[in-house]
Amino acid sequence: MTLDLEASSQERSAPGGRQNLVRSWVGASVSTASTVIVVLSGLLFVAFAVGRLLPIDPVLRVIGDHAPQALYDQTFRDLHLDRPLLEQFILFCRDMLRGDFGVSTTTGNLVADDIARFFPATLELATVAIIIGVGCGLPLGMVSARYAGKWPDQLTRAVSLFGHSVPIFWLGLVGLLVFYARLNWVGGPGRLDIAYQYTIADRTGMVLVDTALAGDWHAFANAVSHIALPGLLLGLVAVGDIARTTRGFLLWQLRQDYINVARLKGLSEAAILWRHAVPNALAPILAVIAFTYASLLEGAVLTETVFAWPGLGLYITQSLFAADMRAVLASTLIIGALFLLLNMLAEFAQSRLDPRARVR
């Protein structure tokens, strides 16, 4: 690899290097824990403030407009609205952290149960999209860096720009019109045709997995036809992000001095790219992939709305239109926590892949 990595290895094997490494790990753990606490506290505060500032009476959302005054007063106390704001916030944080999100006024179910039922659909869609994004974005980014300034590079940059610029809801509507209504190449809105919806046992909440576990390959093919178009559209967004950042990281590596040394040794450009540039750029690329995956989990609202995909994004949209703020705020908190978790995992993986990050 590079001289920097060899130096890092020598520092760890030197006397006192192990103690310094332990100190760096402890410091990194404390810093990560502090970041988690601050970010979660900020998420909870924003969710609490939004719930209190909106011109919606939370009591009326629970009991309705025609309930007697005695019931209104009792519900007012049950929701802790008679307490000081600071105490309300503390109780709100306690309930959120232990998963007590209350009852949804839209569905009449516990919000936690609704989230557990809707989230697997979002996870399935985002996972298909990130697989497409990684499978296409990484090769495109590598080819773009290898042929920088030439037509493959221009083509990759055009694809990235298209994925970023075109509104996803417009692409979804056009895709449904062309590939579903006219050509009948893909399934329509929803996750399964109605003929299969009640024949598959709901084990994981992810239709592709459940149909495969059931061994019903006709239902599996039907599920693939339904997820193909929304998955490809979200995947196009991921392809743009991953290809663009992969190109940037690789071009930065290809400008480093150790690359010039490798060229002086007579290595081919392909060998330089695969043996030197890609391994050194892998850690930041992995961080971008994790960030993109988290963005897909939180950014699938429009896609799920267009394709009537019963995921968390559609649940948030319907709850927002119904002024069901308990469901909206709880879902937002869950997505924010997942975003934070994925970024922490990316940082950990980056520290394991790059010895220089471990030394720091």
| 244-285 pLDDT per residue, tens | 899 999 989 888 888 888 888 888 888 888 888 888 888 888
Mean pLDDT of 55-62: 73
User: E strand or H helix at 274, and its extent?
Assistant: none
pLDDT band at 133 (very low <50, low <70, confident <90, very high): very high
pLDDT of amino acid 3: 42
pLDDT of amino acid 22: 59
pLDDT of amino acid 359: 46
CB-CB contact of 128 with 227 (8 Å)? yes
Q: Number of C-alpha atoms within 13 angstroms, CB side, residue 71?
A: 10
Mean pLDDT of 12-33: 58
d(CA 289, CA 130): 8
Q: What's the pLDDT tens digit per position in 312-339?
A: 888 888 887 777 777 888 888 888 788 7
Judged by DSSP in three states, 43 sits in: helix
- Residue 225 pLDDT exceeds 90: yes
d(CA 290, CA 353): 15
pLDDT of amino acid 299: 64
Mean pLDDT of 198-224: 89
Q: Which of 10-19, 39-48, 155-164, 319-328 has the lowest mean pLDDT?
A: 10-19
pLDDT of amino acid 13: 47
CB-CB contact of 108 with 96 (8 Å)? no
pLDDT of amino acid 36: 67
pLDDT of amino acid 8: 45
**Phi (first) and psi of residue 179, to 5 degrees:** -85, -20
Query: The tokens 């500032």 sit on which residue?
Result: 53
**Domain parsing of the chain, residue ranges:** 18-98, 107-359
Q: If you average pLDDT over every residue of the chain, what do you get?
A: 81
- Residue 30 pLDDT exceeds 70: no
pLDDT band at 360 (very low <50, low <70, confident <90, very high): very low
pLDDT of amino acid 23: 66
Mean pLDDT of 115-133: 92
Buried b vs exposed e over 5-19: b needs ≥16 C-beta within 10 Å?
A: beebeeeeeeeeeee
Overall fold of domain 107-359: MetI-like fold (1.10.3720)
Q: Which of 36-40, 74-78, 149-153, 303-307 has the lowest mean pLDDT?
A: 36-40
Judged by DSSP in three states, 99 sits in: coil
User: For residue 103, what are the β-bridge partners?
Assistant: 110
